[in-house]
Structure 1
Amino acid sequence: MNKSTAVLLLTSALGLTACTTTTAPQPADVTILGLNDFHGNLAPTSFTRADKTAISAGGIEAIAAEVNDARKANPNTILVGGGDLIGASPISSGLLRDEPAVYALNGMGMKVSALGNHEFDQGLDELFRMQNGGCASNDAAKACKFDPNYKGATFKWIGANVEYNAASGKTGTPFAPYIIQDINGIRIAFVGAVTKTTPGIVSPDGVKALTFTDEAAAVNKYIPEIKAQRPDAIIMLIHEGGELATGSTDNYSTVGCKTLKTDSPIVDIAKRVDPAVSAIISGHSHQGYNCLVPDPTGKDRIVIQGDFYGHLLQRLDLTVDKANHQVMSVKAANLVVDYTAREKAGTLDFGMTQIRTTAEAKVAAISNVEIAKLGDPQIQRGVSNARNTESPLGDVIADALLAATKNQGAQIGLMNPGGIRADLPDTTRIKPGNAVNFGDVFAVHPFGNTTTVLSLTGQQIKELLEQQWSGANATAVKLLQVSEGFNYKYTLSNPDGQRVNIADITLNGTPISATATYRVATNNFLAAGGDNFTVFKAATNVVQLPGLSDTDVLSQYLKANGPTLKNVVKGRITKL
């Protein structure tokens, strides 16, 4: 276990029921380790510790070693997930349909995970295949290339708020809402949920048979049923999260923080979830925090998230009374999964090394192809993965979209920041001569999106920009990245729908006209209204370019312009 990690000292008595204790207490200790937003990152990536030390963190070899150490210290240890374990993955897992990631999690002994939105990236049927095994995939070129007899996940994905809709012709839930795990005689119930915004942030066809209901209400619906089975504790696994308030000095190592933004989705959810839930393991927002949020009775309850890509493991240490099925105390910590230190100490997990090297060998012929040399060692996607600002890599990708589609009459390129999954390249993969290979490009664009060109009026463009801060994007701003020649200003303090003045939107120095029509290049996900940019669905003259993938677009642009590209924000978007 990483000894430098701060451990939460808060201890609170949290009874599962209102029953009076009638049997002599039988205390037992259990350790719950949580992994959220892993995204198939078999290898470590760059991470900055709370003390500002830059390290390589995560990677299956180091994660497994951390889990093994916890089990040695306490045999009553269980590994669980906070969703997005697969999807949006680097090439060593993504090009193999994330089967290596599933096998790695199986090997670590993961038992249960909340569903994440990215679990639905390839549709419900493919998610069933990932769970149950087999090779009947919607992408035969990738499925069963890691193991010709893919066996599926030995852990279970759960989601109380995922239901079949009427159009599906089915009823009920496609996944179990909760699972009770027996850990050497200690019975812990895990109840799961995924962000209710999932339909707006995945390809619509993939979830057309499903309804995603309110997370807290769905979990509360099952609490009486769970309590009737008298588990020793109930833990919520949810793929929804929050962010620390602007100006807060808290970070992932802060003990019992109370500075989560009040409008964070997880805060609202936590305040409504039944007090029988002793702690909440969260995800989705790619943040590290170890906070306290009042439950419906006003008592503080732990809400924790472990950054992303396996950089941190969320740790809950519970003492339960097995005789009376109550939680006696809970403490929490975020553990840094320090790959750098473990590599030096020779304590990486060998079994995981075999999975990683096998996967990397299978994709090496494609991954290692050099694409270009950049003008800087790295072009970044934004400080701390921020999605609410213009970024150097966002500028490059928007320019690449425009360049690839000028023959289709494109005038503007637009890219969603959530579709930019890594720096180019990650700090751990910077190479001599500022070279980038196809694996680096794939890490930036792992979705396999294709390119679309469509027409929008100037007024629609103005309304599209307004959607960056409204509706479901109000609490998780997604600032579209824009191409060269397209500029606009915004005033964040203005009301919804009034943050952008159409007179402040210019194309090649000239204000756009509300009634004129403009050709816009983007990806098929945004064009379908993804990330809650529904204005795209009203576009006209839509031309799909299925043969032009996002990796093709970026690769071609890098080949043509690599040495001129710098890690610089171009200043196309101005905050007033």
Structure 2
Amino acid sequence: MSCLFSCKKKNFILTSIHGQQIELNDSIADMDSITNFVAPYRDRINEILDSTLAYAPRVISREDGKYNTTEGNLMADIIMSEANPIFKSRTSNEIDFVLLNYGGIRSIISKGNVSARTAYQVMPFENSIVIAELTGKSVRELVYFLTNSGVPHPISGLQIILDKNNNLQSVNIKGEPFNEDRTYFVATSSYLLTGGDKMSFFKDNVGVTDVDYMIRNAMIDYFKKIDTIAPVVDDRFIKL
């Protein structure tokens, strides 16, 4: 009996938790052994990130236009350029238009050399490119969202024209009038596909194709192909 009682399971109850915040700053001394071990890897990564891929003759910003901007246009055009061949090879279909979100652009592209680090600064998120097939009804909701959002969300392949009273005058997709009786293939980010940034119309998709391609990687691939990057504010979204 004494053995049975001595082996009885004890129940422990947590009564308190104590913690201490330790600030990590430059006052903490380096350890030479760690620094020396990491140095070659750090230097190689910095070399890759900072190697010049292209050149920007002027600042490219998401804030240089009311309805469309140089940086937004560049981002959307990159998705169209780099993702469409992959999508076409896998599905025999083509992307009809691209929609990204204004808030996803996190840095300007400064005048001067453009590198892989530039892509990480502009797009620090791990968002990938997906193509959602949307009904005409969902596309109409998408257009309504854009005309009322108050910010220039990046688009490519889609043209929206407002009259002087802010009424919708026309919608064109790849140069053709919008047809509500068909579906459209819309390239966007994995974040927006789930309804991020209040773009709930993406959740009503007919189908989705993931092209296994990070937005940031598409930017880097594009920069490698283009000598000079000089996007402009154009007529893809205008008010007459």
C-alpha separation in 2, matches of 1:401 and 1:418: 16
Q: Which residue of 1 aligns with 2:195?
A: 529
Residue pair 1:405, 1:453 contacting (<8 A) in 2 also: no
Q: Which residue of 2 aligns with 1:234?
A: none
Q: Does 1:490 align with 2:162?
A: yes
Q: Which residue of 1 aligns with 2:226?
A: 561
SS of the residue 1:394 aligns to: helix
Q: Does 1:500 align with 2:182?
A: no
Q: CA deviation at 1:373?
A: 2.6
AA paired with 1:378? V
Q: CA deviation at 1:512?
A: 1.2
Q: Which residue of 1 aligns with 2:75?
A: 397
Q: Which residue of 2 aligns with 1:574?
A: 238
Structure showing greater Rg: 2
Q: CA deviation at 1:368?
A: 1.2
SS of the residue 1:405 aligns to: helix
Deviations 1:254-310 (A, max 9, x none): xxxxxxxxxxxxxxxxxxxxxxxxxxxxxxxxxxxxxxxxxxxxxxxxxxxxxxxxx
Q: Which residue of 2 aligns with 1:369?
A: 51
Larger strand percent = 1
Residue pair 2:128, 2:213 contacting (<8 A) in 1 also: yes
AA paired with 1:500? L
AA paired with 1:521? A
Residue pair 1:379, 1:567 contacting (<8 A) in 2 also: yes
AA paired with 1:514? E
SS of the residue 2:238 aligns to: strand
Q: Which residue of 2 aligns with 1:53?
A: none
Q: CA deviation at 1:370?
A: 2.4
SS of the residue 2:217 aligns to: helix
Q: Aligned pair in 2 of structure 1 residues 152, 373: CA closer, same or farther (>3 Å)?
A: farther
SS of the residue 2:129 aligns to: strand
Q: Does 1:511 align with 2:177?
A: yes
Q: Which residue of 1 aligns with 2:139?
A: 461
Q: CA deviation at 1:493?
A: 5.4
AA paired with 1:478? V
SS of the residue 2:191 aligns to: helix
Q: CA deviation at 1:400?
A: 0.8
Task: Choose which of 94, 119, 130 in structure 2 pairs with 1:441.
Answer: 119
CA RMSD of aligned residues (A): 3.3
C-alpha separation in 2, matches of 1:486 and 1:469: 13
SS of the residue 1:468 aligns to: helix
Residue pair 2:135, 2:206 contacting (<8 A) in 1 also: no
SS of the residue 1:364 aligns to: helix
| Structure 2, gaps ≥5 residues long | 1-18, 88-93
Task: Choose which of 186, 198, 206 in structure 2 pairs with 1:520.
Answer: 186
C-alpha separation in 2, matches of 1:153 and 1:389: 46
Q: Aligned pair in 2 of structure 1 residues 411, 378: CA closer, same or farther (>3 Å)?
A: same
AA paired with 2:131? V
Q: Aligned pair in 2 of structure 1 residues 452, 153: CA closer, same or farther (>3 Å)?
A: farther
AA paired with 2:187? A
Identity, in percent, stands at 24
SS of the residue 2:226 aligns to: helix
Q: Which residue of 1 aligns with 2:5?
A: none
Q: CA deviation at 1:377?
A: 3.5
Residues 51-130 of structure 1: pairs in structure 2 closer than 5 A: none
Q: CA deviation at 1:558?
A: 2.1
Q: TM-score, normalised by structure 1?
A: 0.32
Q: TM-score, normalised by structure 2?
A: 0.73
| Structure 1, gaps ≥5 residues long | 1-132, 134-150, 156-348
Q: Does 1:550 align with 2:215?
A: yes
AA paired with 1:479? P
C-alpha separation in 2, matches of 1:541 and 1:392: 31
Q: Which residue of 2 aligns with 1:341?
A: none
Q: Does 1:480 align with 2:144?
A: no
Deviations 1:221-262 (A, max 9, x none): xxxxxxxxxxxxxxxxxxxxxxxxxxxxxxxxxxxxxxxxxx
Q: CA deviation at 1:513?
A: 0.2
Number of aligned positions between the proteins: 205
C-alpha separation in 1, matches of 2:152 and 2:74: 15
AA paired with 2:50? N
